[in-house]
Chain A
Amino acid sequence: MSGHSNYPEWIYVAVVIALMAWVGAEAWEAERLVEHIPEGAEVIKVTAQQWFWTFEHEDGTKEIGELHVEVGKAYKFEIRSKDVIHSFNIHDYVVLMDAVPGRVNTVWFAPDAVGVHDIQCREYCGLIHYNMRGTLYVEEPSS
């Protein structure tokens, strides 16, 4: 086709492949750590429906639209949906998992500071999707 040599392109492609391998390896390692749910994490059952969130703690207390947790403890969310697909999202803690009817998805987090954070739905679920919001209160341990 042409008289020039192609070796700069080979070097370039090799560099790109090496970069992608590095990104993939780092992502794999990080995700492996992130997905490891610590033992003894307290279970919170999250139920999504059009267009609000219900939370049920291990001791049976239920909350709607608000979630109170204690700082320094690990929590495991078991996420269900009653109607269509929603997505449970606490963006400040990078908690994101779809609520799929017929399935139970799990995700965990351990809040490390006292504070108030937004909970929102991140999967289109209809009319009031934009306002399917809640509030997370991270509080000092009560005792």
Chain B
Amino acid sequence: MVLELQKPRPIWQIMFSTHHTDIGLLYLISSLAFLFLGGSLALAIRIELFLPNIEGTGQIIADSMTFNRIFTVHGTTLIFLFIIPFASAVGNYFVPIMVRYKDMAYPKLNAIAFWMIPPAAVLVWLGFADFTWYAQPPYSIISAPGPAADMWIFGLKILGVSSVLGAINFVITILKCKHPDMSIGQVPLLAWSFLATSVIIIVAIPTFAAALLMLLTDRLGVSGFFNPAMGGDPIAYSHLFWFTFHPEVYVLVLPAIGMMYEIIPRFSRKPIYSYNSGVFAFVMLALVAFSSWGHHMFATGMSFTEKTVFMVGTLAAVPASAMHVFNFIATMWNGRIKFATPMMWAVGGIALFFAAGAGGVVNTAMPLDFSTHDSYWVVGHFHLFVMGTIAFASIGMVYYMFPYVTGRMYNETAGKIHFFLSFVGTILVFFTQHVLGLYGMPRRVFDYPPIPEWIAMNQIASVGAMIIGVSMAIFLVNMIYSSGKGQLANTEDPFGLGGKYYYPFEAKNPHH
């Protein structure tokens, strides 16, 4: 896996490679680049909201249209260009080795799936659409300015195809290409998380792909699927969208849980408490992922029965998620834990995962949803998942993979400072946003009335965001510096854990 910094190859050899670790490297670098790009848009949002606009002061961003475009591209970038490609990076590095196969099942398809991402990213970033990441009609049909909106639609279309191709590849690799001596019950939990995720993608994404086409033809004026002026129904779009994107939440979070399953037993120097309950919980989550999409739509005028069904479907996801948390804690229990940087990120991620899940129970309890829906509570809630859980596990994984990818060690002190600042910052931003939502502040607002509580909480959140920004700058410097000048890593056991529970990373697949 050792990166070319030690044995340089021309860059085009990596770019045109179909080898799984090369594709993994491309995914890794591009997804981290988008983490920084999307994150800087978040800082712009938080700077704008630091003060309400009182007689021209406190306004940083020129107009609300720019602001609306910024939060749209922020969400689109971090979900589709950071979280999902990052999971693919980890999957590419680990899954073939874990199932003991020489590569992914379809190496060329693998390369194609990656190379669909850059053009999609170009469309999203050059377009800079303004209709939020879910493009709700009829706004997105009759009001959103083109060509930005159309570019976004095409970009998402390409990303959807890329996801499906990647998912097919993972499913075939795990089910068909695993070593004949290996039963499915011996496949490590990280690979299991990719199996569950990939099945969800294959079932869920086509629905959104269809909805996107309908949205495009609606925008062109040749159809009226979602346009009430032409007899369509905008709520139909919401159903199609959330049928894909509630399961997508699990697409994002399951690989992150898989990464924690890789990190936590290693650094606890213990085997996982219960492999079987981990597998069971992955399968359960993949199933119940499809029973809860309607909880995003309680306020669209759903009937009492519909709301009840979706509330029960949502609550059904809680026991399975709780089983993962139990498994992590039981694994750490009595372990000889080494709190190296990856372990700190994983444990911090579990704590925030628990907090995010608790908030989710509040959201789905029907009467309470009407207090939290579309308020800053929701922003805080899902960011505890995407930032607190998924980005935390992913960044832990970056540190964990770093010695294998570069052959060098990152700076441990800088890694720990990065963690502490990010953890404190995340709590300041997103816990505060929960409270802000209970005070009634709507999401996606460019400006807000000068209510003292709102100002105070927005300022706490903005300070937290700045702390995260500083920590991410430390991260960037640490990664760049250490990959060139860091200490050479002992690739047999870079974290000094003792080899007993260690995964055989020395298993390398030769380039072909």
Q: Which residues of A contact B (CB under 8 A)?
A: 1-2, 4, 6, 8-9, 12-13, 16-17, 20-21, 23-24, 26-28, 30-32, 34-35, 50, 83-85, 87, 89, 91-92, 94-98, 100-103, 105-106, 118, 120-131, 133
Q: How far is the CA of A30 from the CA of B370 in the complex (A)?
A: 12
Of the candidates B136, B234, B322, B366, the one whose C-beta lies within 8 Å of that of A12 is: B322
B332 at the interface (CB under 8 A from A): no
**Contacts A24-B315, A27-B366 hold; do A122 and B448 have CB atoms under 8 A apart?**
no
Of the candidates A4, A24, A89, A129, the one whose C-beta lies within 8 Å of that of B311 is: A24
B172 at the interface (CB under 8 A from A): no
Q: How far is the CA of A84 from the CA of B141 in the complex (A)?
A: 9
Closest chain-A Cβ to B137's Cβ sits at a distance in Å of 8
**B447→A34 contact, CB < 8 A:** no
B64 at the interface (CB under 8 A from A): yes
**B65→A127 contact, CB < 8 A:** yes
Q: How far is the CA of A100 from the CA of B233 in the complex (A)?
A: 9
Of the candidates A13, A125, A131, the one whose C-beta lies within 8 Å of that of B319 is: A13
**Contacts A9-B330, A126-B139 hold; do A87 and B374 have CB atoms under 8 A apart?**
yes
**A2→B371 contact, CB < 8 A:** no
**A94→B370 contact, CB < 8 A:** yes
| Per-residue A-contact encoding for B427-467, CB less than 8 Å = 1, 0 else | 00000000000011011111111000000000000000000
Chain B residues lying within 8 Å of A17, measured Cβ to Cβ, are: 319
Chain A residues lying within 8 Å of B142, measured Cβ to Cβ, are: 83-84
**A98→B300 contact, CB < 8 A:** yes
Chain B residues lying within 8 Å of A50, measured Cβ to Cβ, are: 143
Q: How far is the CA of A1 from the CA of B278 in the complex (A)?
A: 12
B294-352 interface (Cβ within 8 A of A): 299-301, 304, 307-308, 311-312, 315-316, 318-319, 322-323, 326-327, 330
**B301→A105 contact, CB < 8 A:** yes
Q: How far is the CA of A24 from the CA of B308 in the complex (A)?
A: 8
Chain B residues lying within 8 Å of A12, measured Cβ to Cβ, are: 322, 326
B44 at the interface (CB under 8 A from A): no
Q: How far is the CA of A24 from the CA of B368 in the complex (A)?
A: 11
Q: Which residue in chain B gives the minimum CB-CB distance to A32? A: B304
Q: Classify chain B: how many residues form its interface, as a range.
A: 35 or more
Q: How far is the CA of A60 from the CA of B359 in the complex (A)?
A: 43
Chain B residues lying within 8 Å of A96, measured Cβ to Cβ, are: 299, 370-371, 373-374
B401 at the interface (CB under 8 A from A): no
**A84→B139 contact, CB < 8 A:** yes
Q: Which residues of B contact A (CB under 8 A)?
A: 64-65, 68, 130-132, 136, 138-139, 142-144, 228-229, 233-235, 271, 273-277, 299-301, 304, 307-308, 311-312, 315-316, 318-319, 322-323, 326-327, 330, 361, 364-368, 370-371, 373-375, 439-440, 442-449
Chain A residues lying within 8 Å of B449, measured Cβ to Cβ, are: 118, 133
**B373→A23 contact, CB < 8 A:** no
**B371→A102 contact, CB < 8 A:** no
- 3 closest residue pairs by CB, A with B: A91-B440, A102-B228, A27-B365
**Contacts A13-B323, A16-B322, A84-B138 hold; do A27 and B299 have CB atoms under 8 A apart?**
no
Which residue among A12, A34, A95, A130 has the maximum number of chain B CB atoms within 10 Å of its CB? A130
**B143→A30 contact, CB < 8 A:** no
Chain A residues lying within 8 Å of B139, measured Cβ to Cβ, are: 84-85, 124-126
Q: How far is the CA of A84 from the CA of B371 in the complex (A)?
A: 22
Closest chain-B Cβ to A34's Cβ sits at a distance in Å of 5
Closest chain-B Cβ to A90's Cβ sits at a distance in Å of 9
Q: Can you identify 16 A-B contacts, CB atoms within 8 angstroms?
A: A8-B330, A9-B273, A9-B326, A23-B361, A23-B365, A24-B312, A27-B367, A31-B367, A34-B367, A84-B139, A84-B143, A98-B300, A101-B138, A105-B301, A130-B442, A130-B446
Closest chain-B Cβ to A96's Cβ sits at a distance in Å of 4
Of the candidates B65, B234, B274, the one whose C-beta lies within 8 Å of that of A85 is: B234
A-B contacts besides A89-B374, A89-B442, 8 pairs, CB < 8 Å: A6-B274, A26-B365, A96-B374, A97-B301, A100-B234, A103-B301, A124-B136, A127-B64
Q: How far is the CA of A98 from the CA of B139 in the complex (A)?
A: 14
Closest chain-B Cβ to A128's Cβ sits at a distance in Å of 7
**B440→A118 contact, CB < 8 A:** yes
Q: How far is the CA of A127 from the CA of B330 in the complex (A)?
A: 50
